[in-house]
Homo-oligomer: A and B are copies of this chain.
Amino acid sequence: MFNRLEEPTPHAEEVSRLLGFEGLAAWWTNNTQGESNKVGGVIQFHFSVDGKEIGFFDMKVLELHPAKRVLWQVVDGPKEWIGTKISWELKQEGDYSIVLFKHQDWKEPVEFMHHCSTKWAIYLMSLKSLVETGKGSPNPNDTNISGIWD
């Protein structure tokens, strides 16, 4: 599962800050806790709809190279996610910050993976909006793509 996003800013550091340090609650889910700013730290993400929790996952920080690369591994959450890795690669191309995103090591290309692929794009657009306008759409204000899984 792969995505690429271009941000019209020459400041990969700014995008990086939003990826693992202070910004996750502002574009992904406003219920983000834990330690994102050190290798070995665990970040907890909880998601809700209409005030009811619908899911969570915990990610362990495996690599942390601000403005270059961040790698997380899912240590708890949906069974299909446990053990998968999420990588963020950041780089500059002229006036743009490029974000290369991967959610790797799914055991099987299950339908839930298809769903997550679409949903990741939604959250990346939230990140893009946060960078460009100062306002993201984190859960529970995220775009609902489904009546089944979220």
Interface residue ranges, A against B (CB under 8 Å): 1-6, 8, 93, 95-96, 98, 100-102, 109, 111-115, 117-118, 120-122, 124-125, 128, 143, 145-149
Contact = CB atoms under 8 A, between A and B. Distances in A.
A7 to B, nearest CB: 9
Copies of this protein, total = 2
Nearest to A119: B121
A57 to B, nearest CB: 18
Contacts of A101: 114
Nearest to A111: B4
A148 B8 CA distance: 10
A98 to B, nearest CB: 8
A2 B145 contact: no
A31 B32 CA distance: 43
B145 A125 contact: yes
A69 to B, nearest CB: 15
A114 B101 CA distance: 8
A88 B26 CA distance: 34
Nearest to A8: B147
A96 B148 contact: yes
Contacts of A102: 114
Given A96-B148, A100-B111, A121-B121, 10 more contacts: A1-B117, A2-B109, A2-B114, A2-B117, A4-B112, A6-B148, A98-B111, A100-B114, A102-B114, A118-B124
